[in-house]
Structure 1
Amino acid sequence: MRISIRFKWTALISIVILMAYIFVGVLAMRTVQNVASVNEIHSFTNKLLIGGIVVFVIGVLLSYFAVTMVLNDLKRINKTIDDLNKKPDSDSRIKLRKRNDEVYDLTVNINKMLDRMQAYTNQQKEFVEDVSHELRTPVAVLEGHLSMLQRWGKDDPQVLNDSINSSLQELKRMQSLIQEMLDLTRVEQIDSAYLEQTTEVKPLFTQVYNDFKMLHPDFVINFDDDIREGSKVKIYRNHLEQVLVILLDNAFKYSADRKEINFAASTNSALLEVVVQDYGLGIAKKDLKRIFNRFYRVDKARSRKRGGNGLGLSIAKRLIEIYHGSLEVESVVGSGTVFKIELPLIQEAPAEDETSKGE
C-alpha cells in the first residue's frame, strides 16, 4: 500500500535526524568518558537530553504539518460534497494539485463518480423532458378530436368517422412510443446472463432476409451473404435480430422512388461485418452526429407520417455497443444512407489433429 508522500518525507527526515543525533551522542559519550571529568560528563548528558527534546519537537512539528495538510484536503473534499448535497445540479468538483498519494487518488475517483452521477442525472432529466414533449402532440390531437365530437361532431357521421380514425392512429403511435421507451429502458439494464449468449450468424440473417422479402414484395432486396458457415458472435439472438429489424425497417421507410435495398453480411478472421444500404432521401451532414440521440428525427413531420419516434437508432447503437461492437453511418442527401455494423466473432479453438489424437 502506498503511503502519502508527505508522511514519507516527514518520517524519513525525522528518522534521519534521530539516528544522526543518537550516533553523534553515543560517539561523543565514549569520547567524553575517556577524557573528561564527571562534571563534564554530567554537563554533556544534559546537553544531549535537551538536544533529544529538540529533535522530538521537530518531529512532532513536521508530523503536525503533514497531518494538517491532509486534513485540509479532506475538508475540501467534505465541503465539495456538502455543496453538492445542497445543490445537486452543481458542477462543482474537488480541486487539488496533482501529486502521487492516496488523497489525490481518492479525489480523482470521487470526481469521476460525480461526473457519472451528473451524466446519469442529466440523462434522466432529458429523458423525462423528451417523453413529455413526445406525448404532448398525440394527447393534444386526441383532446382536440374529443372536444370537437363533444361540441358538434358526433352528429356528423363523416366527422365522427374521421375523428375516430385519427384518434386511433394517435393511440397506436403512443403505444409504439411507450413500447420503444420500454425497449430503451431494458437495453440500459440488460441482464448479465444475456451478455454470455452466443448466436450463429448465418441462419439468423437468412431468416431476417426472408421475413423482409415477404413483407415488402415491391422492393428489390440485394442480399449478399458471405458469412462463413458456423460463424458465431457473442450476442443474444433477439438483440441482434432487433438491431437488424430496426436498420432494415428504416431503410424501407425512408426509401424514395428507387425501391431497392442492399443487405450484406460477411465474416473475416475476427469480425462480422454488416451493411444496410438504401437509395432514399439521405441525411444531411449536420444531422449525422445526432441521429443516434434519443427522440432525434431529421424531419419530424416526415418521421411522424412514417410512424417513427426517434428511438430505434438509439436502441440499435446501444445494443451493439453493449456487445463491444460498433454501428456507424454514412449518408449523402439525395443518394441514400449506409449503416455499417461490426461485431467481434467468437474465435473457435482449432480442431485437434487426427495424428496427434492417435499418439
Structure 2
Amino acid sequence: MRISIKFKWTSLISLVILAAYVVVAVIASKTVDGIATANEIQAFNLKLIIGGVVIFLIGVLISYLAVNQVLNNLKVISRTIDDLNKKPDSDSRIKLRKRDDEIYDLTININKMLDRMQAYTNQQKEFVEDVSHELRTPVAVLEGHLNMLQRWGKDDPEVLNDSINSSLQELKRMQSLIQEMLDLTRVEQIDSDYLKQTTEVKPLFTQVYNDFKMLHPDFVINFDDDIREGSLVQIYRNHLEQVLVILLDNAFKYSADRKEISLSASTNSALLEVVVQDYGLGIAKNDLKRVFNRFYRVDKARSRKRGGNGLGLSIAKRLIEIYHGSLEVESVVGSGTVFKIELPIVTIEPDDGDDKPKKDNKKKD
C-alpha cells in the first residue's frame, strides 16, 4: 500500500514535537509534585494536557504546511520532467521563486542539465540531417549514372568511361565523408591515456612544414619558427599533427590567386602560440561564428569542388579544447583568413640538478 510522503513526514514531525512536549511535561510534573498541593498539581496537570493537545495540533499544522511547501516545489520539478518525457524537444524549464536554499540550487542544476541535454539532442538531430543531406547528392549522382548505363550508356564507350569516372569521384567523396565522421566520433571518445601524453613541439612543426612544402611546390610557405628547444605541450602527437594538417589543408584549398601561406609558431613560459594564415578568399563576418559547426561551409558549391565536407574545423576545434587550448579565427573577405591556436606548455621542472624538461616516456601508439 502506497503511503503519501506528505502523510509520513507530517506524522513524523508531529510525533517528534509531541514526544519533546511529553518529556518536558513529565519533568515539569515531577518538579511540581514536590512543592505544590494536590489541587494545584491536578490543575497543573490539566493545563499540561490541554497545552499538549494545542501544541500537538499546532505542530501538525506547521508540519503539514512545511512539508506541503517542499512537496509543491518537487511537484513543479516532476511536472516539468513529465512534460519533457512527453515532448523531448520542449524548451520547458523548472520555474521556482528565487531563494537561498537547497531546492532552488537543485532546480538550477537540473535546468542546466536539461539545457545541455537539449543542446546535445539538437546537435544529434542536426548531425543526422546534415549527414543525410551530404549523402543524398552522391547517392543521387551514382543512381543517375547507373540508370543511364543500364538503359543505353553501357553501349557507348565514351559515356561509359565518363560515368565510371564520375561515379568513382562521388564514391571517393562519400569515403572521405565517412572517414571524417568516424574521426569526429573518435574525438568525442578519446582515451584518457592520450590526455596524459606530451609532444615536443619543434620537431613536429619542422616535419609538417617540410611535408607541405613537398606537397605544394607551387606555393610560397613562410615558416616563422620561434619555438624554444625542448618545449613540450600536453597533447598526443598525432592529434596536434591532425589539427595542423586540417588548418593548412584549408589554407591551401581556399587560397585564390596569391599562392602564399604563412605558418608561425612561438613558445613562452606558459603557451604555445600557432598562427596559420592564407591570403585567399576570406570569410564573411556573419559566417565566422559558424565555421566550426559540423558540416558548415561558407560556400557549399566551391567547398564541394575542393573536396571539403565541413567537418575538419569541427574536429580541430574539439581536439584543441579537449587539451585545454583554444582555436580562434579572424578573416577579411578578399584578404584571407587567420587561425590562431593556443596550447599550455608543460611546466619545466629540474630533475636532480638537471634543467631538462620531464618527458612522458610512455610508449605512444
SS at 2:269's partner residue? coil
Residue in 2 that maps onto 1:348:
348
- How far has the Cα of 1:155 moved from its partner? 2.0
Separation in 2 of the partners of 1:281 and 1:89? 38
**1:217 paired to 2:217:** yes
Report 1:122-137 matches (<5 A): 122-137=122-137
Structure 1: distance between partners of 2:78 and 2:91: 15
1:85 aligns with 85
TM-score (norm 2): 0.86
Shift of 1:97: 1.9
Aligned length, in residue pairs: 338
Contact 1:327/1:339, CA 8 A, preserved across alignment: yes
**Following the alignment from structure 1 to structure 2, what is the Cα–Cα distance between the partners of residues 288 and 111?**
29
The aligned counterpart of 1:239 is: 239
Distance 1:111 1:331 in 2: 36
- Structure 1 stretches of 4+ with a deviation exceeding 4 A read 351-354
Q: Secondary structure at the match of 2:192?
A: coil
Contact 1:263 1:277 in 2 (8 A): yes
The residue matched to 1:64 in structure 2 has which SS? helix
* Shift of residue 320, structure 1, vs aligned partner: 0.5
Distance in 1 separating the partners of 2:213 and 2:40: 111
- SS of the counterpart of 1:225? strand
Matches within 5 A, 1:65-104: 65-104=65-104
Q: Does 1:258 align with 2:258?
A: yes
Q: Distance in 1 between matches of 2:346 and 2:285?
A: 35
Gaps of 5+ in 1: 1-6, 355-359
Give the AA of the match of 1:102: E
Distance 2:205 2:133 in 1: 36
Decide which moves more: 143-152 or 171-180.
Answer: 143-152
Matched, 1:337 2:332: no
Of 73-82 and 312-321, more deviation after overlay is shown by: 73-82
Q: What amino acid is aligned across from residue 153 of structure 1 in structure 2?
A: G
How far apart are 1:166 and its partner, in Å? Answer: 0.9
Can you give the 5+ residue segments of structure 2 that lack an aligned partner in the other structure?
1-8, 355-365
Equivalent-residue separation in structure 2 for 1:122 and 1:231 (angstroms): 40
Give 1:357's aligned residue. none
The 5-angstrom pairing of residues 118-267 of structure 1 reads: 118-267=118-267
Give the Cα separation in 2 of the matches to 1:239 and 1:141: 34
Q: Which residue of 2 aligns with 1:301?
A: 301
Deviation (angstroms), 1:323? 0.6
**Amino acid across the alignment from 1:81:** I
Q: Please state whether the residue corresponding to 1:193 is helix, strand or coil.
A: helix
User: 2:268 maps to which residue?
Assistant: 268
Give the drift of 1:353.
4.9
The answer (yes or no) to whether the contact 1:198–1:237 under 8 Å persists in 2 is yes
Per the TM alignment, residue 304 of structure 1 is displaced from its structure 2 partner at its CA by 0.7
The equivalent residue for 2:284 is 284
Equivalent residues of 1:33, 1:41 under 8 A apart: no
Which amino acid letter does the alignment assign opposite residue 236 of structure 2? Answer: Y
- Residue 243 of structure 1 deviates from its aligned partner by 0.3
Q: Deviations over 1:142-184 (max 9, x none)?
A: 1111122222222222211111111111111111011001101
Aligned mates of 1:157, 1:38 — CA distance in 2: 126
Identity %: 83
How many angstroms apart in 1 are the aligned matches of 2:81 and 2:281?
50
Corresponding letter in the other structure for 2:315: I
Residue 227 of structure 1, CA deviation: 0.4
CA distance in 2, matches of 1:353, 1:308: 51
Give the Cα separation in 1 of the matches to 2:109 and 2:283: 40
8 Å CA contact retained: 1:276, 1:340: yes
* AA at the equivalent of 2:247: L
Equivalent position amino acid for 1:296 in 2: Y
Structure-1 separation of matches of 2:228 and 2:351: 16
Cα distance in 2, alignment partners of residues 331 and 91 from structure 1: 35
TM-score, normalisation: structure 1: 0.88
CA distance in 1 between counterparts of 2:169 and 2:353 reads 63
What's the C-alpha RMSD, in Å, of the aligned pairs? 2.4
d(CA) in 2 for partners of 1:306 and 1:42? 102
Distance 1:89 1:338 in 2: 37
Measure, in 1, the Cα distance between the counterparts of 2:195 and 2:326.
16
Deviations 1:81-105 (A, max 9, x none): 2222222222222222222333223
Instruction: Tell me the secondary structure at the aligned position of residue 97 of structure 1.
Output: coil
